[in-house]
Chains A and B, each alone.
Chain A
Amino acid sequence: MLTLLSMFYYICLRRRSRSGTRGEALSSRRAVESGQRATLPISVEVEQYAKEVLDFSSHYGSENSMSYTMWNLAGMPNVYPSSGDFTQTAVFRAYGTWWEQCASAPLPFRRTPKAFHSQDYIELAFEEPVYPTAVEVLETYHPGAIVQIMACSLNPFSQNPPTDIRWEVLWAEEPTKVLTPQARQFSPSIKQLSFPTNLIRVEVNSSLLKYYTELDAVVLRGQKDRPILSLYKMPRIDICDLSDSDEDLSDPGHINLGNGYFDKLPYELIQLIVSHLTLPDLCRLTQTCKLLHQHCCDPLQYIQLSLQPYWARLSDTSLGHLQGRCTLLQRLNLSWTGNRGALTLTGFSSFMNACGGSLVCLELSCCHFLSEPCLEVISQTCPGLQELNLSSCDRLHPQAFTHISKLTQLRRLVLYRTKIEQTAMLSILTFCIELRHLNLGSCVMIEDYDVVASMLAVRCRSLRSLDLWRCRNLTERGLAELAAGCRLLEELDLGWCSTLQSSSGCFQHLARNLPCLRKLFLTANRTVCDSDIEELAANCPALQHLDILGTRMVSSSSLRKLLQACPKLLLLDVSFCSQVDARIVQELCGLFPNVAIKKSFTQ
């Protein structure tokens, strides 16, 4: 009798497994098995530090250094549980809202979903794929920046990578204010995964922080064996899934009435309503009825398109489906998308050919799918392009940048952490004379910044902001020519430019020649002295942001003069300035409450 029952049960199970998906059968079989087992097996919990840093969007340190760079996040912690500003930690390039306040900041894109807060990211590979039970991040300075933790189904060390790569969100939350700068171990409760992972992505937002956040290590805890609890299959909403069915609804010649009150509303009003929807909602709405399909596919809804929040799901097919609607596209954000084969040259160039004609702004930060032909396509299809962001596209071949010189209407160009070389740079400056904002931070392949500065002074006289962060060989000659030629300069970042010597008078000359100066970063220039500060006080009343980290030659008296002379000053960073101790900072904060005076510490 028992054998008959068990046979019957077995046959039913097999039939179910044939009709259902393999995943469901596995989980059901395991449920059956676990029910029959007397004791559950002890699953081995594995604790790992990150083995390798695969990708990141920015960092504070220099490209071939181990100080304040993202590569410090791999391996065991070096600083935790101490708190402070140490070299052995991973630090991002920016913090707070200071960079967003600058004129060089891009305008935010419409339709950004409220749940998307990420500003920077870092991807870590661990040795063994596990089913994660916990992810701990050891933050050692100004914690609280982490807003999202994600896991990938791909094993970055595998020889044959699969074609379908899934990213799951383990944890996500809005940025919250953490009051103390002290170290902490951040371990949010994470979601259970249905696949093992050894590729973790941490996304951060530092806008509520008072200073740079610093991360020491990331710990991944997980089980090697799949957890017993069965997992329901998470419905994946893909943009291309939603766009699939628009073919069915095209039926010309059939006058459609019966949309109820929607027929009474003016076209523009429905357009206005629909303009508040996020992109996935817009794609879903397309499928509801013919009227809304017409509204949602109207190219006027796609004047601005930000695909950055959907980077994990964007593919060539998605772009293909959106192509038809984006003929009037003016601003496109593809930052962070397309990596690991999701976007290819074919998909990208087809999209650009269809939609690039009116494009004014193109954000391509961290787009590692980009290659030289992609830039060639951009230069051919977007003649009116005014803004181009290639930040952290460090795998882009130097030859690719020569195509940028064809974009003669360019006003904003971001080349942070790219491998652009001198000849391509000079070629761009020769032809793109409308440049207002130029970011050459950490462009290590440019040999002589004096020549670049000199070219800027001659050709790009409308320049408003210039970021020369970590440009190692700029001297007072180049700076003098720059000050003479680009008189409208408002923002100048000369952080970590060690070849500039105050004794040459270059900073005083700068102050006298740039009265519109609003932002000046002289981070870690150990030669900045009192006379430079006094000259700034006398000549730059519009000054808002000043960073003089690490100089021993500035005293509190010149700072007082500066604070009195520059009423608009909002940010003053005097970290590691030995003559300006905590007591003086406190005193100045009391006298000038509108100014955020930053004084970092090591211990």
Chain B
Amino acid sequence: MFSVLSYGRLVARAVIGGLYQTDSRDYSLVTAICGFGEDFRKGILKKGMCYGDDACFIARHRSADVLGVADGVGGWRDYGVDPSQFSGTLMKTCERLVKEGRFVPSNPVGVLTSSYYELLQNKVPLLGSSTACIVVLDRQSHRLHTANLGDSGFLVVRGGEVVHRSDEQQHYFNTPFQLSIAPPEAEGAVLSDSPDAADSSSFDVQLGDIILTATDGLFDNMPEHMILQELKKLKNTNYESIQQTARSIAEQAHVLAYDPNYMSPFAQFACDNGLNVRGGKPDDITVLLSIVAEYTD
């Protein structure tokens, strides 16, 4: 008898829940950026949205909100190429593609592919390589579509727990998947992954979900539980609090990066692979912190 009632209540709840599932409000992402370039001299926001060799972008379109980060591979500096040029141009091109509507929200890999193709259409011979991570929120369908190539990535936090996390793509230790344009003489020797090699995923999001998109400068220095601890302090969805939390995360990662005794996730991974190291990993840090909120014009 009791079980019948409880069963009936469950069924009723499920049915009513299904009827009210269709939330017709449009969603949007309220995003704040914070970062630190590895080289102190370069300062913050060197060329607008660039931290050292990292670059990022935020773009709004009628149908979607799009974010992206790109981590320029520093090794090009040894060959006289500025690594921030490639990542910066890649992100600016993605931003332009989104603003002009030349993308499909459910296909973030397409954004990377088109952007890479546009880089090749530039008269200026660009050189360099970078990772890339693109996050697209489809306003109407409330779905988050992501594409990740390399070791940058994103976290989705709901109710204090990580519900989604991107995987790192590495060829071997400290050599992530990367988009690159090489000089013709070095074409065979330079690692160049196709945009199609990016990992993509799609899932539903809810109001209040927190999305953290960052380069490996953050994830290599701050383990998940520390990030979650910082995110717990985020109380409301206005831009100022998000900016504050983003800054505190980035600053903490920045401090930890230069701590020689701290067992960072990077050091832990190195030890697991037989390299006896300790301490943080000095690197460019870029953090994009977003909350899913209702769309207001």
Contacts and interface: CB of A to CB of B under 8 A. Distances in A.
Contact of A87 (B117, B118, B185): B118
A88 to B, nearest CB: 7
A602 B121 CA distance: 15
B100 interface: yes
A524 B125 CA distance: 8
B41 interface: no
Given A65-B117, A66-B100, A75-B100, A502 B184 contact: yes
Interface string B118-139: 1011111100000000000000
Interface string A48-76: 00000000000001100111100000010
Contacts of B96: 66, 78, 88
B125 A65 contact: no
B113 to A, nearest CB: 11
B44 interface: no
A578 B126 CA distance: 11
A427 B59 CA distance: 48
A65 B184 CA distance: 23
A195 B281 CA distance: 68
Interface in B52-103: 96-97, 100, 102
A409 interface: no
Nearest to B127: A552
B125 A526 contact: yes
B114 to A, nearest CB: 9
Given A65-B117, A498-B120, A552 B125 contact: yes
Contact of A526 (B100, B117, B121, B183): B183
B125 A62 contact: no
A576 B183 CA distance: 14
B119 to A, nearest CB: 9
A526 B120 CA distance: 11
Interface string A287-302: 0000000000000000
A527 interface: yes
A602 B124 contact: yes
Given A75-B100, A503-B184, A553-B185, A65 B123 contact: no
B121 A68 contact: yes
A527 B186 CA distance: 11
B236 to A, nearest CB: 34
A19 to B, nearest CB: 53
Contacts of A308: none
Contacts of B124: 550, 576, 602
A524 B118 contact: no
Given A65-B117, A66-B96, A526 B123 contact: no
B89 to A, nearest CB: 9
Contacts of B183: 526, 552
B116 to A, nearest CB: 12
Contacts of B120: 498
A442 interface: no
A576 B123 contact: yes
A501 interface: yes
Contact of B184 (A526, A600, A602): A526
A496 to B, nearest CB: 8
Contact of A550 (B102, B117, B118, B123): B123
Contacts of B117: 65
Nearest to B122: A87
Nearest to A67: B121
Interface residues of A, number: 28
Given A66-B97, A66-B102, A553 B184 contact: yes
A578 to B, nearest CB: 7
Contacts of B122: 67, 87
B123 A66 contact: no
A85 interface: yes
Nearest to A470: B121
A418 B185 CA distance: 35
A52 to B, nearest CB: 12
Interface in A197-243: none
Contact of B121 (A61, A527, A549): A61
A439 interface: no
A575 interface: yes
Given A66-B102, A550-B124, A600-B123, A527 B184 contact: yes
Interface string B186-207: 0000000000000000000000
B159 to A, nearest CB: 41
Nearest to B102: A66
Contacts of A61: 121
Contacts of A68: 121, 123
Contacts of A575: 123
Contacts of A600: 123
A286 interface: no
B184 A549 contact: no
Interface string A90-126: 0000000000000000000000000000000000000
Contacts of A330: none
A551 interface: yes
Nearest to A523: B123
Given A66-B102, A88-B96, A503-B184, A551 B118 contact: no
Interface in A521-563: 524, 526-527, 549-553
A87 B92 CA distance: 12
B197 to A, nearest CB: 20
Given A526-B183, A527-B184, A578 B100 contact: no
A78 B100 CA distance: 12
A143 to B, nearest CB: 19
Contacts of A602: 124
Contact of B118 (A66, A85, A527): A66
Contacts of B100: 66, 75
A302 B121 CA distance: 45
A85 B123 contact: yes
B208 to A, nearest CB: 34
B8 to A, nearest CB: 55
Contacts of B121: 61-62, 65, 67-68, 87
B111 to A, nearest CB: 13
Contacts of A551: 125
Contacts of B125: 526, 550-552, 576, 578
Given A75-B100, A549-B123, A552-B125, A65 B185 contact: no
A543 to B, nearest CB: 22
A212 to B, nearest CB: 10
A96 to B, nearest CB: 17
Contacts of A578: 125
A578 B120 CA distance: 17
A36 to B, nearest CB: 44
A600 B123 CA distance: 10
A524 B119 CA distance: 12
A208 to B, nearest CB: 23
Contacts of A88: 96
Contacts of A553: 184-185
A501 B184 contact: yes
Contacts of A78: 96
A538 B253 CA distance: 61
Given A551-B125, A575-B123, 12 more contacts: A61-B121, A62-B121, A65-B118, A66-B96, A87-B122, A503-B184, A524-B123, A526-B183, A526-B184, A553-B185, A576-B125, A578-B125
22 contacts: A61-B121, A62-B121, A65-B117, A65-B118, A65-B121, A66-B97, A66-B100, A66-B102, A67-B118, A68-B121, A87-B122, A87-B123, A88-B96, A503-B184, A526-B183, A550-B123, A550-B124, A552-B125, A552-B183, A575-B123, A578-B125, A602-B124
Interface of A: 61-62, 65-68, 75, 78, 85, 87-88, 498, 501-503, 524, 526-527, 549-553, 575-576, 578, 600, 602
Interface of B: 96-97, 100, 102, 117-118, 120-125, 183-185
Closest 10 CB pairs of A and B: A67-B121, A527-B184, A550-B125, A65-B121, A576-B123, A526-B125, A576-B124, A87-B122, A526-B184, A67-B118
